[in-house]
């Protein structure tokens, strides 16, 4: 009986220790939840106004190389930037391509032209004004910042005519190594769009590589070279960047301050009121999102 009691007590002790080692504090649970909430899963329902992707499934990830290196845009020290006061902070929208037929397996990136036109019609009907990415500021009326990453050819052939029809403004973040490449904007297209006054071009780095493992010298090259090429093409200096792959780090942000006033991330949020101007979140726009769906997303 004595041996049985000893074995029983030992079992209880092992179970107790296992529970202790596997328990997490409330803070640890919150951190895990935060990382899950900002994952880059593409939502199945493109017209959902939910900001929590945990409940949505998809066939692919927009940025499969995502890691916890992504920054919370509301807790990082902010650089000195003059942003006027106003009741409304602008909402930044993140597009990539506008095409009836997806050109790659990442079909969620390819918004249909009819969907883009429907979105602009609804934005105009709701009284939104349009700002460029380097015009981020609070205002007395609602405003949006239309941003397009990468610089695909269809930004000129499909998006640009619709933009002109609705007199809307957009910023295209170009990775300059792709200019004149197959499927990407040409120098002539960039110049024509820039001269229209409806499109501004900004940096998406030069080579579109993850900046976080790079040396300071390499990061500066990516920034300087892209700014130089865009200035030569458009005649205007760019003061905004969209970080390639969405990843940032302390050193990337510190160096970015030397070149840009505004930085745009892939953090999915409509709220920009208290954000760091170099870590501005954007609402991700997907194939299938109608004007009604966008309006619901904007609240």
Tell me how far apart the alpha carbons of residues 237 and 15 are, in angstroms, rounded to a whole number.
64
Q: Residue 156 belongs to what domain range?
A: 88-298
Q: Going along the chain, which residue ranges are E strands?
A: 91-95, 97-98, 110-111, 129-130, 143-150, 170-174, 199-203, 240-242, 262-268, 280-284
Pair of tokens at residue 127: 């009284």
Q: What is the pLDDT of residue 9?
A: 54
270 lies in some domain: yes
What mean pLDDT do residues 161-173 have? 98
226 lies in some domain: yes
**Does the model's pTM come out above 0.85?**
no
35 lies in some domain: no
Per-residue pLDDT tens over the stretch 123-155: 999 999 999 999 999 888 999 999 999 999 999
198 lies in some domain: yes
Per-residue pLDDT tens over the stretch 62-80: 333 333 234 455 444 444 4
Q: What is the pLDDT of residue 186?
A: 98
Asked if 159 and 98 count as a contact pair (C-beta separation under 8 A), the reply is: yes
104 lies in some domain: yes
20 lies in some domain: no
36 lies in some domain: no
- We report the CATH number of the domain holding residue 252 as 3.20.20.370
pLDDT exceeds cutoff 90 at 61:
no
Per-residue pLDDT tens over the stretch 19-31: 333 333 222 222 2
Number of domains in the chain: 1
Per-residue pLDDT tens over the stretch 196-208: 999 999 999 999 9
200 lies in some domain: yes
């Amino acid at each position: 009986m004595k041996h049985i009691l000893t074995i029983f007590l030992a079992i209880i002790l092992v179970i107790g220790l296992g529970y202790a080692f596997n328990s997490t504090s409330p803070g640890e649970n919150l951190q895990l939840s935060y990382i899950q909430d900002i994952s880059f899963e593409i939502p199945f329902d493109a017209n959902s106004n939910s900001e929590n992707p945990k409940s949505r499934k998809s066939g692919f990830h927009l940025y499969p190389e995502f890691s916890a290196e992504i920054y919370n845009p509301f807790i990082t020290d902010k650089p000195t930037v003059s942003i006027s006061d106003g009741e409304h902070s602008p909402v930044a929208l993140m597009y990539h391509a506008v095409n009836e037929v997806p050109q790659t397996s990442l079909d969620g990136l390819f918004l249909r032209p009819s969907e883009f036109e429907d979105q602009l019609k609804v934005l105009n009907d709701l009284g939104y004004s349009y700002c460029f990415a380097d015009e981020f500021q609070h205002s007395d009326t609602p405003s949006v910042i239309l941003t397009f990453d990468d610089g695909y050819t269809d930004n000129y052939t499909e998006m640009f005519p619709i933009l002109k029809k609705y007199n809307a403004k957009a910023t295209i973040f170009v990775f300059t190594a792709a200019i004149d490449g197959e499927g990407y904007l040409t120098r002539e297209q960039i110049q024509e769009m820039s001269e229209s006054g409806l499109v501004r071009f900004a940096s998406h780095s030069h080579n579109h590589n993850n900046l976080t493992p790079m040396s300071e010298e390499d990061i500066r090259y990516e920034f300087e070279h892209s700014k130089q090429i865009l200035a030569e093409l458009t005649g205007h200096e760019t003061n905004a960047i969209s970080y390639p792959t969405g990843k940032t780090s302390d050193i990337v942000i510190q160096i970015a301050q030397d070149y840009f006033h505004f930085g745009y991330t892939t953090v999915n949020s409509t709220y920009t009121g208290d954000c760091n101007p170099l870590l501005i979140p954007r609402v991700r726009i997907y194939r299938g999102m109608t004007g009604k769906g966008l309006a619901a997303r904007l609240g």
